[in-house]
Structure 1
Amino acid sequence: MIHQYMNNGFHIIMDVNSGSVHSVDPVMYDAVAIAQDFIPEMDKPEKISEHAKKEILSRLKEAYGEAEVMEALEEIQYLIDAGELFTKDVYHDYVVDFKKRKTVVKALCLHIAHDCNLACQYCFAEEGEYHGRRALMSFEVGKKALDFLIANSGNRRNLEVDFFGGEPLMNWDVVKQLVAYGRSKEKEYNKNFRFTMTTNGVLLNDEIMEFCNKEMSNVVLSLDGRKEVNDKMRPFRNGKGSYDLIVPKFQKFAKLRGTRDYYIRGTFTRGNMDFAKDVLEFADLGFESMSIEPVVAQPEEYYAIKEEDLPQILDEYDKLAVEYIKRRKEGKGFNFFHFNIDLQQGPCVAKRLAGCGSGTEYLAVTPWGDFYPCHQFVGQEKFLLGNVDIGLTNTEVRDEFKLCNVYAKDKCRDCFARFYCSGGCAANSFNFHGSITDAYDIGCEMQKKRIECAIMIKAALAEE
C-alpha cells in the first residue's frame, strides 16, 4: 500500500507495509502515482513491466523530459528490489487468533481519587465522579491492585502504574504509601515499577515536587494554553480561573524535573481551534514537552468539534508544523507529542496492531477496586471486568478487547495510518458508534494529518 501527499513543499511517499518513507522530487512522485495502477503489493522483488514503463513515460515525458522519467523508473525499481516500495502486508499474517493470546497485565491506571477541585467544562469524568460517587482509594485497595499486577504480569519485569483521577493530589498520602509498597516488592518479584501521575497542579507544593522527582517516571501537567482559554474551560467550582495559580507551580516543577520526563497536556475545543497559539504559549512559558488533544464530546455539546471544523483544524496542524520547524532551526525547539515519530524502528508488532492494550494489558481500577478496560469506560457496567478481590471474571468482554486490532476494523484495513495509530481509541469508537471495533471518524482525520506533519518535519529537519 502506497500513500502519497505534499506538505510544506515536500513530496512524500509512504510504503505503508514496510514503513519506508521517501521524500522525493516531483517526477518521482508522479511516476509512483501512476505505477500504483500497474504494480501490486509484492511477495518478493519483481521488475516493473515494460507496459508500465511505457505508460509512465508516455504520461510524464512532456512535463519532465524522457531522461528524468527514465531515471525515476530506475529509482522505483531500486526501491522495489530493496523492499521499500510496493511491499506485501506481512503484519496481516501475525493476526492468527488474538483471542488465544495469553493475557499478561503490564499497566494499571489507579483512580486514586474520584474527586476533583476543578470543574472543567469538558470533563468526561464528571468532576471526578465517573457516573458514580465521590470517593478516595484506600491503601488496602491500592495494595491489592499492585499485588494483582505483580501476579498477572508473567515474566514482564517493567510494570507501569499511573495515578489518575479526578485529582490524585487530593489523596496524596495514599499515593506515597503505594509507591513505597511497590518499591518494597520489586526485588522480591524481580519487577521494576514505573510510576506516573496526572495532576491539575492546584495542590502542587515543594514536598510533592521533590517526591515526584524522586519516584515518578513521568508527570502529566494539565493546562489548556492561553489564560483566557484555560480559565474558561478549567475553572474552580466557584467559576474563578485556575491559570494564575497553577502556571507558576508548573514552571517551577518543569525546571526541577531536569532530565526526567514530564509534559504539559492541554485540550482544545471548538472555542480555540487556533490551538497552535496555545502550544506556542506552552513553549513561551518555558515548557519543553507538551501535547494538546482535541476534545472528544457528543455533537450537542457547545464545545464539541464537528466535521465541518476539520478544514480549519487540519490547517492549524500545518501551521504548527511550520512554526515547529522554524523554532527547531533557531535553537528554540520544543517537543510536541504528536510530532514525535520513529521511522527507524517504532513500536513492536503487537502494539502496531492492537494499540494501547486496554482491557487486556492495561486496566483501570476504581477507588473501590473494580476493574475496567480503561479510565474512559469506568462507570459503564457493561465493561466491568472484575475487582481486586476476585480478579478478572468478565472474560467475554476481555476477549472482545483481545480482538480489537487494525484488521478487525473495516475503517482501518485500507488506511495508511493504521500502523502508526494502531486503530485509535476503543472508547471513542464505542461512544460514537456503539462498537469498540469501529473508529471515531473526526479523530481519524486529525490523526492522519498529525502523522503527515510529523513525517514532513523529519524530511525538513534532515535537510539541515
Structure 2
Amino acid sequence: MVHQYKNNGYNIVLDVNSGSVHVVDDLVYDIIALYETASEDEIAEKLAGKYSPEDIREAYSEIKELVKEECLFTEDIYKDYIFDFKKRPTVVKALCLHIAHDCNLACKYCFAEEGEYHGRRALMSFEVGKKALDFLIANSGSRRNLEVDFFGGEPLMNFDVVKQLVAYGREQEKLHDKQFRFTLTTNGVLLNKEVQEFANKEMANVVLSVDGRKEVHDFMRPFRGGQGSYDYIIPKFKEMAESRNQTNYYVRGTFTHYNTDFASDVLSLADEGFKQISVEPVVAPETEDYAIKASDLPKIMEEYDYLAKEMLKREKEGRGFNFFHFMIDLSGGPCVAKRLSGCGSGTEYLAVTPWGDLYPCHQFVGQEEFLMGNVDEGIVRTDLQEEFKCCNVYAREKCQDCFAKFYCSGGCAANSYNFTGRITDTYDIGCEMMRKRVECAIMLKAAREGEL
C-alpha cells in the first residue's frame, strides 16, 4: 500500500508496510500514482503531454528499482506476526494509579466527572497503592522497566500517599531487580516548591494541564466557583518547566468545538516559553455542545497544516518547540508489537481505582462491564484480557486500507467502545484527525532532514 499527498510544497510518498518515505518530483509522483494499474507503455502514453519520453522511462526505471529493494509497494509482513503476539503470555508493564477520585477544578469536558468516574469521591490509601505496586511486580515477568502514572482527579490532593508509594517502589526496585518510571499529571492548583522538588527528583515525566489561551482555558477549566484558573497555574507551570530544563514534561491541553482554531492555543503556550506542548481534540458524545463535529474537520485540518508551517518558521528563527502529535520516528519507531496493538490497554497497561479495582485503562474506569479484577485477587476477568489482546489493527476492518494504521495502531479502544459499542471498531472523527497529523509530521521530517 502506498499513500501519496502534497503538503507545504512537498510531494510525499509513504510506503505503508515498510514505512519508507520518499520526497519526489512531479514526474515520479505522477508515475507512482499509475504504477499499479498501468504498464510502462500505458504510463508513458498518459503522461506524454506533460513530460518527455526519456524522462518518463528513466523515472519509471528508478521506481522499479525501489520496488525491487522493497521500498515501494511492499507486502504486509505483519499479518502472521499478530497471531504469534496473541499467544504470548500477558506481562503487565504499567499501571495508572487513580490516586485521587476528586478534583479541585470543574472542567466542562472531564470524562472523569470532576474526578468521580461514575462513582464516589475517594482517595487511594497507601495500603491499596502498595498492593497495586506488588501486583505490578508480580505480574511483570522478566520485564525490568515498569511504569506507574499518578493520575486523578487531581493526584496532588493525595500527595502524601504519592510520596509514600514512590518510597515503597524505590525499596522494591532493589529487592526485585526492577526499575520504576514514575510520572505525574496535575492541574497545577496545588503545585508548590515541595511538589516541584519532589517531582524533579522522582518523576520521569510531568504532565501539566492547560488549554492554551487564557480565555479558552478559563472557559473550559474553571474552579468550582466558576472563576478561571489560568492566572493561578501558569506562573507555576513556567517555573516547573524551567526547573526541568524544558525537558521531561509537557503542557497538555484539550481543544473543543469552541476553539477549532487551536493552533493559536499551541502557539500561545509556545509564546509563554513552553517547549514541550500537546493540545489534543476532545472526545465527547455528539450531544455535548463542545463536542467536535464532522463539520469542524475542514477547519481543524487547516489548523494542523498552519501549525506545521509555523513550527518550521519558528525553528528557523531559533524559537522552536515540540508538538506531541507531530513527533514520529521514521527511522526506528515503536517495536512491531506496539505498532500492531497500540497502548496495551487491558493487557500490558491497567488502571487502578482508589479502592483497588482493575480496569483496562483510565477511560474505562467506572464502567462495570470492564471491571477486570482487583489488587487482592488479581485479574479475574481473563476473558476481557483475551479480548483486549486481540484488539489490534488487523481486528479493525476500517484500518485495513488506512495509511496511518501503523502510527496510531488502530486508535483508542475506549473511544471505539464509547462511539460504536465495540473495542475493535474506530472513532471515525478521531481517525480523520490522526491521518492529518501523520501527514504533517512526515512533512516536518522531510523539511528538517533536507527532504530525507
TMscore range, shorter length: over 0.9
Instruction: Structure 2: state its 5+ residue gaps.
Output: none
Could you tell me how far apart the structure 2 residues matched to 1:14 and 1:207 are? 48
Q: Does 1:87 align with 2:74?
A: yes
Write the letter of the residue equivalent to 2:395.
Answer: A
Name 1:120's counterpart in structure 2.
107
How far 1:75 sits from its partner (Å)? Answer: 1.4
Write the letter of the residue equivalent to 1:28.
Answer: V
The secondary structure found in structure 2 opposite 1:457 is helix
Could you tell me how far apart the structure 1 residues matched to 2:84 and 2:321 are? 41
Name 1:35's counterpart in structure 2.
35
Q: Output one character per residue of 1:209-236: Cα deviation in whole Å (capped at 9) or x when no partner.
A: 0000000000000000000000000000
Name 1:141's counterpart in structure 2.
128
Could you tell me how far apart the structure 1 residues matched to 2:36 and 2:431 are? 24
Higher mean Cα deviation, 307-316 or 103-112? 307-316
Could you tell me how far apart the structure 2 residues matched to 1:55 and 1:13 are? 21
Q: Does 1:281 align with 2:268?
A: yes
Q: Output one character per residue of 1:402-458: Cα deviation in whole Å (capped at 9) or x when no partner.
A: 000000000111110000000000000000000000000000000000000000111
**2:224 is matched with which residue: 221, 231, 237?**
237
Q: Output one character per residue of 1:321-341: Cα deviation in whole Å (capped at 9) or x when no partner.
A: 110111111111001001111
How far 1:37 sits from its partner (Å)? Answer: 1.6
Write the letter of the residue equivalent to 1:6.
Answer: K
For residues 380-395 of structure 1, the aligned pairs below 5 Å read 380-395=367-382
For residues 255-334 of structure 1, the aligned pairs below 5 Å read 255-258=242-245, 260-334=247-321
Write the letter of the residue equivalent to 1:175.
Answer: V
For residues 16-31 of structure 1, the aligned pairs below 5 Å read 16-31=16-31
Could you tell me how far apart the structure 1 residues matched to 2:202 and 2:37 are? 55
The secondary structure found in structure 1 opposite 2:5 is strand
Could you tell me how far apart the structure 2 residues matched to 1:332 and 1:259 are? 13
Write the letter of the residue equivalent to 2:127.
Answer: E
Name 1:366's counterpart in structure 2.
353
**Does the Cα contact within 8 Å between 1:160 and 1:194 map onto a contact in 2?**
yes
The secondary structure found in structure 1 opposite 2:89 is coil
**Does the Cα contact within 8 Å between 1:217 and 1:260 map onto a contact in 2?**
no
User: Cα RMSD (Å) of the superposition?
Assistant: 0.9
For residues 418-433 of structure 1, the aligned pairs below 5 Å read 418-433=405-420
How far 1:142 sits from its partner (Å)? Answer: 0.2
Could you tell me how far apart the structure 2 residues matched to 1:161 and 1:61 are? 61
Write the letter of the residue equivalent to 2:184.
Answer: M
How far 1:462 sits from its partner (Å)? Answer: 2.1
**2:434 is matched with which residue: 436, 441, 447?**
447
> What is the total number of aligned residue pairs between the two structures?
451
Could you tell me how far apart the structure 1 residues matched to 2:423 and 2:268 are? 35
Write the letter of the residue equivalent to 1:321.
Answer: A
Could you tell me how far apart the structure 1 residues matched to 2:192 and 2:53 are? 69
**2:233 is matched with which residue: 230, 246, 249?**
246
Q: Output one character per residue of 1:215-263: Cα deviation in whole Å (capped at 9) or x when no partner.
A: 0000000000000000000000000000000000000010001264000
**2:197 is matched with which residue: 199, 205, 210?**
210
**Does the Cα contact within 8 Å between 1:213 and 1:260 map onto a contact in 2?**
no
Write the letter of the residue equivalent to 1:316.
Answer: E
Name 1:42's counterpart in structure 2.
none
Higher mean Cα deviation, 383-392 or 91-100? 91-100
**Does the Cα contact within 8 Å between 1:110 and 1:366 map onto a contact in 2?**
yes
What is the TM-score when the length of structure 2 is the normalising length? 0.99
**Does the Cα contact within 8 Å between 2:241 and 2:247 map onto a contact in 1?**
no
The secondary structure found in structure 2 opposite 1:341 is coil
Higher mean Cα deviation, 136-145 or 73-82? 73-82
For residues 70-85 of structure 1, the aligned pairs below 5 Å read 70-85=57-72
Could you tell me how far apart the structure 1 residues matched to 2:385 and 2:107 are? 31
**Does the Cα contact within 8 Å between 2:246 and 2:276 map onto a contact in 1?**
no
The secondary structure found in structure 1 opposite 2:50 is helix
Could you tell me how far apart the structure 1 residues matched to 2:182 and 2:151 are? 11
**Does the Cα contact within 8 Å between 1:376 and 1:427 map onto a contact in 2?**
yes
Could you tell me how far apart the structure 2 residues matched to 1:335 and 1:96 are? 36
Q: Output one character per residue of 1:115-143: Cα deviation in whole Å (capped at 9) or x when no partner.
A: 00000000000000000000000000000
How far 1:102 sits from its partner (Å)? Answer: 0.5
Q: Does 1:57 align with 2:44?
A: yes
- The percent of aligned pairs where both chains have the same amino acid is 70
How far 1:97 sits from its partner (Å)? Answer: 5.3
Could you tell me how far apart the structure 2 residues matched to 1:428 and 1:96 are? 24
Write the letter of the residue equivalent to 2:232.
Answer: L
Q: Does 1:413 align with 2:413?
A: no
Higher mean Cα deviation, 69-78 or 448-457? 69-78
**Does the Cα contact within 8 Å between 1:98 and 1:403 map onto a contact in 2?**
no
How far 1:24 sits from its partner (Å)? Answer: 0.3
Could you tell me how far apart the structure 2 residues matched to 1:378 and 1:458 are? 37
Instruction: Structure 1: state its 5+ residue gaps.
Output: 39-51
The secondary structure found in structure 2 opposite 1:267 is strand
The secondary structure found in structure 1 opposite 2:47 is helix
Q: Does 1:221 align with 2:208?
A: yes
Write the letter of the residue equivalent to 1:440.
Answer: Y
Could you tell me how far apart the structure 2 residues matched to 1:186 and 1:132 are? 33
Name 1:3's counterpart in structure 2.
3
How far 1:156 sits from its partner (Å)? Answer: 0.5
How far 1:101 sits from its partner (Å)? Answer: 2.2
Name 1:13's counterpart in structure 2.
13
**Does the Cα contact within 8 Å between 1:324 and 1:333 map onto a contact in 2?**
yes
**Does the Cα contact within 8 Å between 2:123 and 2:158 map onto a contact in 1?**
yes
Write the letter of the residue equivalent to 2:12.
Answer: I
What is the TM-score when the length of structure 1 is the normalising length? 0.96
Could you tell me how far apart the structure 1 residues matched to 2:449 and 2:334 are? 22
**Does the Cα contact within 8 Å between 2:4 and 2:11 map onto a contact in 1?**
yes
Q: Output one character per residue of 1:361-384: Cα deviation in whole Å (capped at 9) or x when no partner.
A: 000000000000000000000000
How far 1:61 sits from its partner (Å)? Answer: 2.2
**Does the Cα contact within 8 Å between 1:106 and 1:153 map onto a contact in 2?**
yes
Name 1:48's counterpart in structure 2.
none
After TM superposition, what 4+ stretches of structure 1 lie above 3 angstroms from structure 2? none
How far 1:99 sits from its partner (Å)? Answer: 4.0
Could you tell me how far apart the structure 1 residues matched to 2:369 and 2:87 are? 22
Name 2:83's counterpart in structure 1.
96
Name 1:459's counterpart in structure 2.
446
Could you tell me how far apart the structure 1 residues matched to 2:345 and 2:37 are? 39
The secondary structure found in structure 1 opposite 2:168 is helix
Name 1:47's counterpart in structure 2.
none
**Does the Cα contact within 8 Å between 1:114 and 1:367 map onto a contact in 2?**
yes
Could you tell me how far apart the structure 1 residues matched to 2:85 and 2:180 are? 27
Q: Does 1:344 align with 2:331?
A: yes
**Does the Cα contact within 8 Å between 2:85 and 2:337 map onto a contact in 1?**
no
